[in-house]
Homo-oligomer: A and B are copies of this chain.
Amino acid sequence: MKPVVVPTDPHGLFDSRPTFSHVASVLGGPSRIVMTAGQVGVDENGQAPADIKDQYTLAFKNLTRCLEATGATVTDIVKLVYYIVDYDPNNRLHVEPLVQFLQGHRPATTLVPVPCLARPSFKFEVEAYVAIPQAPLQEVDVVVVGAGLSGLKAAYDVQRAGYSVAVVEARDRVGGKTWSVEHEPGDGKYVDRGAAWINDTNQSEVYALAQALGLGLVVQNTTGNVVQQDRDGSVSQFLYGSVPDGIGVASVDDMVKLRDAAEAACQLLDIRDPVRTGGHLDTQTLEEWIRSVGGGPTGLASATVWTRAMLGLEPSEMSTLFFLNYCKSGGGLLQMRSDRKDGGQYLRFERGTQSLSLGLVSLLKAGTVVLSSPVRSITQIDDKISVVAARGDFVCRRVIVSVPTPLYKEISFNPPLPAAKAALAAANRLGFINKVIVRYDKPWWRAHGLCGMLQSFVKDGPVSVTRDSSVDAKNQFSLTCFVAGSAGRAASKLSQAERFRVVVDQIKATLGAHDTKVPPPVGFEEHQWANDQWAQGCPCPAAPPGAMSQYEHALRSVHGKIHFVGTETAYEWKGYMDGALRSGIRGAEEVVRALASPKL
């Protein structure tokens, strides 16, 4: 759909380019009106920086969040009104951030100098009037909510069974947490801001798709030493696949004992019935369980590395049953954590994992996917389901919801979700993982016999784990640094430049400890999934003690004619792309079976 907000330059009025137009009209068909509250320059804690320039930046960032949450884009803005305290007409500091925000769009605008704003610290406020173009009502057999891997796979299977499908996506791109970016446009040096690894044995669904799409794969580098950073920051090395030997015998013993206890406990669970087989493990946090099995400080530090890198959380933030069942879904703690054959992190994609999602889209009929159109309500009346989305509504016979459980709250279900499903969604907690990817022009760590993996027991990290994420054939060399859990949340308070600096400092102090000539990075990538409107965390929601015992039965249950998929609903490889695909397959099977059944 082409943009419909059109600037008009009335004859005889002064030239208002480039920042605004005297008149903005909504042309080209029906639109949906959206208005924002005045957005001020505060951070997520409501704190306003003293410098008004920082407030401009934050206010436009907050306005961008507002637009994103409602499916609007900057080009949908009809009008902006901004309020400035201590306005100085000779020093129009707002113009630069405004021009940057508008990206060439020209809404009508009004500037209002004011003596103060709602709080003494607020210096700038901006509000937007928005019109989102509306596509005509579309009638399909099945609406899939979300164009991540699980939704796209479900859509593909349903469409292949002969039913019409619309995939309605909130973001302006497909792929969900598969999101791959080049260094420079067209240079082919892809890195993954989100999901990155698969294997070619027990992750058979994702491997089959990669093969079907002809995607080039890269074996994860595990040749050489892992760098171990102990709790006090001291650095040692050990061969990948062995155990650390520079941290003292007692500490190693602590680690190994805990690891073996966790592995043994998870192997007792039945992933198709975790509550019956491990209900007693659902009364404790993982940290409590670690202490109960005699885990010491190093054991706990080691387990913190697991939970941060695997779920973006601390051992105190999840049920023991949840964690062990999560491990078991990937074959067990050791297998899920392994970077070698059969392990969770064995293979990567030359063009990044988003190529899986883009590949699935290419297999769908043209026009199946609608972008930038968050679904806001799903109403079931008799045999029809009405789906209200930002850029146009749908009527269908079945819905497949493929968003993470904690995001169910973004959709108004009518009739409401059953209590257990709503409670499950509310109880589950999304973790914090920011993969800071540091690009280099060469894999300098390999020259020192290092495989690129760091394992850090330092509480505040900020990095818990690094991995070599290079694609040698493309001269793409990088270290992917997991800035996760409470250490990640702390680092997210820093400015981006400061955060990148501390990550590089930690790399130098660990992987670069014996190299006086660690080259400077050539680029950085990161994405703070926890701040992302349509992720709100990653990779996979975790359950606190008690939640699984109460609500696990509601995880995959249908709600009328609405079905639920997503990697967390998988039995195998929860939190992984393979799990996402498996859940999509299940959802599609449920829907096709229902649509094909005679109506009795």
Q: Which residue of B lies closest to A10 (CB)?
A: B69
Complex Cα spacing A79 to B26, Å: 17
Asked if residues B25 and A32 are in contact (CB atoms below 8 Å), the reply is yes
A63 to chain B, nearest CB (A): 9
Q: Is A66 touching B23 in the complex (CB atoms < 8 A)?
A: yes
Give a binary string over A345-374; 1 marks a CB under 8 Å from any B CB, 0 the rest. Answer: 000000000000000000000000000000
Within the assembled complex, what's the spacing in Å between the Cα atoms of A68 and B13? 12
Instruction: Flag whether A113 is at the interface (Cβ < 8 A).
Output: yes
Docked-complex contact A33 and B33, CB < 8 angstroms = yes
Residues of B within 8 A of A45 (CB): 14
Q: Using known A-B contacts A10-B69, A118-B89, determine if residue A390 contacts B25 with beta carbons closer than 8 Å.
A: yes
Instruction: Flag if B89 contacts A37 (CB, 8 Å).
Output: no
Q: Are B38 and A34 in contact (CB under 8 A)?
A: no
**In angstroms, how far is the closest chain B Cβ from the Cβ of A281?**
31
For residue A598, CB closer than 8 A to chain B, the reply is: no
Residues in B with CB closer than 8 Å to A62 are 13, 22
Nearest B-chain residue to A25, judged by Cβ: B34
Known A10-B68, A13-B66; contact A27-B114, beta-carbon cutoff 8 A: no
Asked if A319 is an interface residue, CB under 8 A from chain B, the answer is no
Contact A110 B37 (CB under 8 A): yes
Please indicate the chain B residues that have their CB under 8 angstroms from the CB of A120 in the complex. 89
User: Number of A interface residues, CB 8 Å?
Assistant: 70
CB neighbours (8 Å) of A21 from chain B are 37
Shortest C-beta distance, A56 to chain B (Å), equals 16
* A66-B10, A119-B89 known; A37 vs B112 contact (CB < 8 Å): no
| Chain B positions within 8 Å of A23 at CB level | 34-37, 66, 69-70
Selected from B9, B66, B114, B125, the residue in CB contact (under 8 A) with A22 is B66
Chain B, residue nearest A29 (CB): B393
Contact B32 A33 (CB under 8 A): no
Of all chain B residues, the one with the shortest Cβ separation from A62 is B13
Tell whether A70 pairs with B25 under 8 Å between CB atoms, given A89-B116, A113-B116. Answer: yes
Q: Which residues of B contact A36 (CB under 8 A)?
A: 22-24, 108
Q: In the complex where A112-B114, A129-B35 touch, is A44 in contact with B13 (Cβ < 8 A)?
A: yes
**Closest residue of B by beta carbon distance from A67:** B23
> 0/1 per residue, A206-229, Cβ < 8 Å to B?
000000000000000000000000
Q: Mark A30-55 against chain B: 1 for CB-CB distance below 8 A, else 0.
A: 11111111110010111000000000
A300 in the interface (beta carbon within 8 A): no
In the bound complex, what is the Cα–Cα distance between A127 and B108 (angstroms)? 9
Q: Is A457 an interface residue when CB atoms closer than 8 A count as contact? A: no
Q: Are A33 and B37 in contact (CB under 8 A)?
A: no
A6 within 8 A of B: yes
Candidate in A31, A46, A69, A83 with the most chain B CB atoms within 10 angstroms: A69
| A115 on interface, CB distance cutoff 8 Å | yes
In the complex, the answer to whether A37 meets B114 with C-beta atoms within 8 Å is: no
Residue A28 CB within 8 A of the other chain: yes
The answer to whether A531 and B12 touch across the interface, beta carbons within 8 angstroms, is yes
Q: In the docked arrangement, what's the CA distance between A62 and B46, Å? A: 33
**Which residues of A pack against B, CB within 8 Å?**
6, 8-14, 16, 20-28, 30-39, 42, 44-46, 62, 65-66, 68-70, 78-79, 81, 83, 87, 89, 107-120, 125, 127, 129, 131, 376-377, 388, 390, 531-533, 536
Please name the 4 residue pairs, one residue from A and one from B, whose CB atoms are nearest each other, closest first: A38-B110, A10-B69, A35-B79, A37-B108
